[in-house]
């Protein structure tokens, strides 16, 4: 009997993602036994401050990584966009299943699009990438930090604390909360975070048994695409909190990718695009193009 012990955060979305991966694995390996241990991270506890101020998305992964390294658990399922682009020593991403829709959405009770929002409307997001792109299209809107789980952020909009919020569509649809989506934002308006919509299953780099099982549910096209996106982010400095967007897809065997680096006020935006066959090389190439156009100065600001 083979057994995999998973660590998960307590949120509904984290549990859904872990259970979804377990279902995929048990379809691929029918006699596999899976156990789940719930771990509350610092990011789950400190909900009163904007994420970039207290350390960014890594706050949701550090405790899970510590459990992995200690050997108490075998694997942890993350939203790939929240996972730091450089592997923690001793850990690796063992599988990336088929990606969900990577786009962001507008959650709003009053308007059905970004264009329809009244001037001065308050938009909730803790993402500098989303802030920059919203302000690029609607500089008259006001951005305020919003924290909490998916359902908490939706509730804050419904209660009128915010006029709207911009969120990842994948998390909302995974929880069956699609009715709260006013509109899906096109890539031309809102380029997603590198890896958005994809799940990354982290495990110990030397755990051959777990790695062999996880490999059965990894999707080749998704893996290539998100590796290119994450290579772009890494070559630009690597932080999950910086205003960088990227989206890659496979077209006729080639990786086609677009990337974006923006000033947080949305006034300056650098767009790059290209294609290639090797994910890391393509990500680095587009980052080099962005840096040549002044991306370093925008990120330093």
Choice among 44, 48, 82, 265 that is catalytic? 82
Task: List, as one string, the DSSP characters of 53-121.
Answer: HHTGGGGGTHHHHHHHHHTS-SEEEEEGGGS-SSPPTTEEEEE--------EEEEESS-SSTTTSPTT-
Q: Are 266 and 132 in contact (CB under 8 A)?
A: yes
Task: Judge whether 101 counts as a catalytic residue.
Answer: no
Burial 254-275 (b: 16+ CB within 10 A, else e): ebbbbbbbbbbebebbbebebe
Classified as helix, coil or strand, 4 is strand
**β-strands 142-144, 122-124: how paired?**
parallel
Q: Could you list the active site residues? A: 82
């Amino acid at each position: 009997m083979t057994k995999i012990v998973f660590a998960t955060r307590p949120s509904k979305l984290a549990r859904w993602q872990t259970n979804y991966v377990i279902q995929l694995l048990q379809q691929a390996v029918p006699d596999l036994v899976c156990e789940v241990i719930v771990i509350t991270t610092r990011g789950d506890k400190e909900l009163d401050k904007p994420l970039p101020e207290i350390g960014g998305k890594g706050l949701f992964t550090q405790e899970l990584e510590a459990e992995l390294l200690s050997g108490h658990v075998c694997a942890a399922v993350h939203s790939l966009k929240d996972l730091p682009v450089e592997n923690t020593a001793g850990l690796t991403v063992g599988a990336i299943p088929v990606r969900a829709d990577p786009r962001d959405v507008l959650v709003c009770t009053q308007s059905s699009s970004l264009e329809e929002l009244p001037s001065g409307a308050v938009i909730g997001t803790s993402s500098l990438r989303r802030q920059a792109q919203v302000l690029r299209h609607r500089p008259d809107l006001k951005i305020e930090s919003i924290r909490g789980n998916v359902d908490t952020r939706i509730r804050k909009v419904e209660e009128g604390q915010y006029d709207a919020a911009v969120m990842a569509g994948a998390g909302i649809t995974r929880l069956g909360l699609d009715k709260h989506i006013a509109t899906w934002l096109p890539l031309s308006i809102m380029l997603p975070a590198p890896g958005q919509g994809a799940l990354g299953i982290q495990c110990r780099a030397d755990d051959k048994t777990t790695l062999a099982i996880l490999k059965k549910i990894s999707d080749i096209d998704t893996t290539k695409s998100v590796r290119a996106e994450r290579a772009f982010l890494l070559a630009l400095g690597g932080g999950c909190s910086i205003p960088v967007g990227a989206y890659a897809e496979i077209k006729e065997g080639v990786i086609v990718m677009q990337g974006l680096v923006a000033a947080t006020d949305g006034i300056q935006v650098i767009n790059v695009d290209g294609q290639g066959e090797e994910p890391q090389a393509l990500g680095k190439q587009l980052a080099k193009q962005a840096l040549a156009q002044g991306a370093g100065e925008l990120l330093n600001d």
